[in-house]
Amino acid sequence: MERNPLRRQLQIMRKSLFDQGYLDEQFVQLEELQDESNPNFVEEVVTLYYRDSARLILNIEQALERKPYNFHKLDAYMHQFKGSSSSIGAKKVKAESTLFREYCKSGNGEGCMRCFQQLKKEYTTLRKKLEAYFQVARQAGPMETACRPK
Amino acid sequence: MVVETGFSSPRTDAFPAGLRVLVVDDDPTWLKILEKMLKKCFYEVTTCCLAREALNLLRQRKDGYDIVISDVNMPDMDGFKLLEHVGLEMDLPVIMMSVDGEIRRVMKGVQHGACDYLLKPIRMKELRNIWQHVFRKKIHEVRDIESMEGIESIHMARSGSELFDDGSFLGGEDTTSGRKRKDADNKRDDKDLGDPSSTKKARVVWTVDLHQKFVKAVNQIGYDKVGPKKILDLMNVPWLTRENVASHLQKYRLYLSRLQKEGDIKNSFMGMKHSDTPPKDSTAGSGIRNSINLTQDNVSNGSFSFPVNHTLAPSVDLKGHEGDRKGITSGPMTELKGPFPIDVSGPRKAKSSKISFDHSLGSVDSVVNFASFGPTDTAQYSWNEIPEIQFKQEYEPLQLENRFSQLPLPGLQHHMLPEYLQPAVSVSPGPSITEKEATSSGFEVKSMYDDYRSNHAKHSSQTEAVGESHSLNNQVFKSISTTTSSMKSQDTVPNHLTVSEFSPKNLYEGVGADDLQLCWPQGDCYATNFGLQGLDCTEHNNPATALETPFHLYDHPFDPTEYYASDQGLFA
């Protein structure tokens, strides 16, 4: 257990993200890529993800405003979004994406809409948690190599 | 956005470290992650978010990458299409990626030729192993080359005497083998522009010419009944192995079926014909680059060599004289265009040959070329057309050039096409030209002549990029002068020249490196470059009309025949 209080806090936060299913193994992969040449690699990637995926979210939102739904297009957008979300290990967000695609395939417009609302919630929640996490991380200073979630 | 890591030599000794990977993905997050992962594996990474951009990069540096990793879903082009192009044009291993692991999709990837299909999220350990795909391919290629070599040497021994006997070198075997040899040599010499490494990958390059033969054979046998062995026999290309044909056939099949589905076949034809027109590849420079790269491997007459060339001096106006060219070397003209520093202001003909790959046609084009090659042989060879201006007769430019194009000359590559030569006929008698000249004038010309004489000039030394672009056509020479077209004197006989058709032999007989120097009307006279000053152009009588123009610039009368002869040597 970390003696440094900040580091300890960081560890707790991190563990909770995994335990609660917000993040998966991919996040650990990112952490493993972090090194001296890229000390803030994980944060950079997450930032990039949120910036780029905002665009995709917007696309889907606009597509959902046009009735009747173009399921093919919606599916394509979500496919992209899912791929992107998988890059940072956003587990819950990814699960919602998969569900959304199922609704698209079955032509369930209602299901798509509901699912999308849920997805946005998860997406936003994760962002907040990660922002808080990185804030502490920056304060705590460089960590040792990532440790796998217990 | 392309992040270039710079092309360093392909591989360090600590293989697989230094493996040059090109990653294509429209998702910036993944691109960043993959780049980091690959760098951790000590690979050299170049990232790209657009498929078209990736193709450009690949074409510019034909041997600048060892493997391509691409996402399946991309905005500007379907990942599978990119995969096809890369496979056909560059023959590099391609790994597909997707978050979608549906069996159907994975199968489609494999069908299109992907050597692996990774599911996102991708683990680093999966990337660590990608070098195996590169290694595997290399082994296979080396095997092909080696087997080819053996055959070539046999051919070389035989070919000399027959070269000048009669113009029909359609069989082109000798030259082919000679050329092939040269190509192999070139490959090894690695003069390739794009390949900084000393070990050039040995691949069978399916040049336009070669592919055309392939398509002809396929059509003859009947697409349904086709088989690699039958095709191989019909093609009559000595150095080609059954395996080469088999793998190419597979690609071709995939390609065709895709085309049919998309109804692109027509387009392809258009594209092909278009090649003649000036340039699609307006980016001559890049075109050249591309072509050069392409051609480098071209064993064959250079069908691909064109690419390089076409960007070259446009001046070469190869007017299409007769469609005979079919397939034969027509390409050469364009070749000159290339790297020559000469400022070819003339119309650059994007000689189609390569155009297809060049990018000018776009991804589809390249594919198209294949398709089009078959049926539209005349169209394609438009580039070959040698400017009649010079020579009244139309002769097929010696494909010799093409071969030269293989030389990586950075600028030159393109051997000029002295191809115009006429069918060996003229050559034989004559090359009296000045072999002496050939000696060296700086251009490999001499090699050409020497070869020419011997017909078999194995002139591998061509390396020097002899600018022998025999392209007598003045235009051609323009470009030549600057670039020492590495004309390798391959089998002297312009085998590929179907030249037999052209009577005027004299046209290019003397063409040798010297010719290259021909002063182009455009004003680029590189007479100095002429190694072959001594060329005795007079030896052959040219139809007079043909040559006069350009050569007045030079001291010696331009005797096309001479050039031709030299060419012959090139292809020894």
Structure tokens at B193: 């522009």
Tens of pLDDT, residue by residue over B391-406, are 344 344 444 344 433 4
**Which are the contacts of B547, defined by CB distance < 8 A and separation ≥ 6?**
B390, B391, B472, B506, B507, B537, B557, B558, B559, B560
Structure tokens at B296: 């480098």
**Chain B contacts of A30, Cβ < 8 Å?**
33
For B75-81, the CB contacts below 8 A with 24+ separation are: B75/B26, B75/B50, B76/B50, B76/B51, B76/B52, B77/B50, B77/B51, B77/B52, B77/B363, B78/B51, B79/B24, B79/B51, B80/B108, B80/B109, B80/B112, B81/B51, B81/B363, B81/B364
* β-strand pairing of B20-24 with B116-119: unpaired
**Chain A contacts of B127, Cβ < 8 Å?**
none
Tens of pLDDT, residue by residue over B165-181, are 444 444 444 444 444 44
CA atoms of B219 and B214, how far apart (whole Å): 9
**Chain A contacts of B120, Cβ < 8 Å?**
83, 86-87
Decide if pLDDT at A146 tops 50. Answer: yes
Torsion over CA of B157, B159, B162 and B167, rounded to 10 degrees?
A: -170
- Give CA separation, B539 vs B170, B414, B509, in Å: 26, 26, 9
Cβ pair B27:A87 closer than 8 A: yes
**Chain A contacts of B32, Cβ < 8 Å?**
44-45, 48
Predicted TM-score of the model (pTM): 0.47
Cβ pair A45:B37 closer than 8 A: no
User: Of B141, B142, B79, B144, which Cα lies nearest the Cα of B113?
Assistant: B79
* Residue B13 pLDDT: 53
Decide if pLDDT at B503 tops 70. Answer: no
User: Of B333, B347, B192, which Cα lies nearest the Cα of B284?
Assistant: B347
Nearest neighbour of A49 by CB, restricted to B29, B40, B99: B29
User: Residue B97, Cα to own-chain centre: how many angstroms?
Assistant: 31
pLDDT band at B560 (very low <50, low <70, confident <90, very high): very low
pLDDT band at B152 (very low <50, low <70, confident <90, very high): low
* Residue A3 pLDDT: 65
Report, as an integer, the average pLDDT of B10-20.
69
SS3 B24: strand
Interface of chain A toward chain B, CB-CB under 8 angstroms: 25-26, 29-30, 32-33, 38, 41, 44-45, 48-49, 52-53, 76, 79-80, 82-84, 86-89
In a mutagenesis test of the B interface, which of A44, A79, A82, A87 is the best target, namely the one with the most B β-carbons within 10 Å? Answer: A87
For B33-38, the CB contacts below 8 A with 24+ separation are: B33/A30, B33/A33, B33/A45, B33/A87, B34/B69, B34/B122, B34/B127, B35/B3, B36/A33, B36/A38, B36/A41, B37/A33, B37/B122, B37/B124, B37/B127, B38/B127
Minimal-distance CA residue of chain A relative to B26:
A80
Decide if pLDDT at B45 tops 70. Answer: yes
User: Residue A122, Cα to own-chain centre: how many angstroms?
Assistant: 8
In a mutagenesis test of the A interface, which of B24, B25, B29 is the best target, namely the one with the most A β-carbons within 10 Å? Answer: B29
pLDDT band at B12 (very low <50, low <70, confident <90, very high): very low
CA atoms of B122 and B102, how far apart (whole Å): 16
Instruction: Quote the percentage of chain B above a pLDDT of 90.
Output: 10
Instruction: Please indicate whether residue B176 or residue A67 has the higher confidence score (pLDDT).
Output: A67
* Residue A45 pLDDT: 96
Report, as an integer, the average pLDDT of A116-128.
96
- Give CA separation, B365 vs B249, B271, B290, in Å: 18, 6, 14
* Residue B139 pLDDT: 84
Instruction: Please give the radius of gyration of chain A, using alpha carbons only, rounded to the nearest integer.
Output: 17
* Residue B407 pLDDT: 40
Taking CB atoms and an 8 Å cut-off, how many pairs form between chains A and B? 54
CA atoms of B156 and B185, how far apart (whole Å): 14
Q: What's chain B's average pLDDT?
A: 57
Nearest neighbour of B121 by CB, restricted to A26, A41, A53: A26
User: CB-based contact (8 Å) between B76 and chain A?
Assistant: no
Which of A49-58, B68-77, B539-548 has the lowest average pLDDT? B539-548
SS3 A94: helix
Tens of pLDDT, residue by residue over B75-127, are 888 888 888 888 888 888 999 999 888 888 899 888 888 999 999 999 988 99
* Residue A4 pLDDT: 84
Cβ pair A29:B27 closer than 8 A: no
Cβ pair A87:B30 closer than 8 A: yes
Q: What is the ipTM of this complex?
A: 0.92
Report, as an integer, the average pLDDT of B216-235.
84
* Residue A63 pLDDT: 93
User: CB-based contact (8 Å) between B120 and chain A?
Assistant: yes
List the strands of the sheet with B67-71, edge to edge: B44-48, B20-24, B67-71, B94-98, B116-119
* Residue B14 pLDDT: 64
Instruction: Please indicate whether residue B70 or residue B183 has the higher confidence score (pLDDT).
Output: B70
Instruction: Please indicate whether residue B27 or residue B429 has the higher confidence score (pLDDT).
Output: B27
Nearest neighbour of B29 by CB, restricted to A25, A32, A88: A88
Planar angle of CA B564, B567, B570, nearest 5 degrees: 165
User: CB-based contact (8 Å) between B6 and chain A?
Assistant: no
Q: Is the dihedral of CA A83, A123, A143, A19 positive or negative?
A: negative
Cβ pair B71:A83 closer than 8 A: yes
Which of B27-31, B265-269, B406-410 has the lowest average pLDDT? B406-410
Nearest neighbour of B32 by CB, restricted to A25, A48, A83: A48
Report, as an integer, the average pLDDT of B267-287.
43
Instruction: Please indicate whether residue B51 or residue B378 has the higher confidence score (pLDDT).
Output: B51
In a mutagenesis test of the A interface, which of B27, B47, B100 is the best target, namely the one with the most A β-carbons within 10 Å? Answer: B27
Cβ pair A89:B121 closer than 8 A: yes
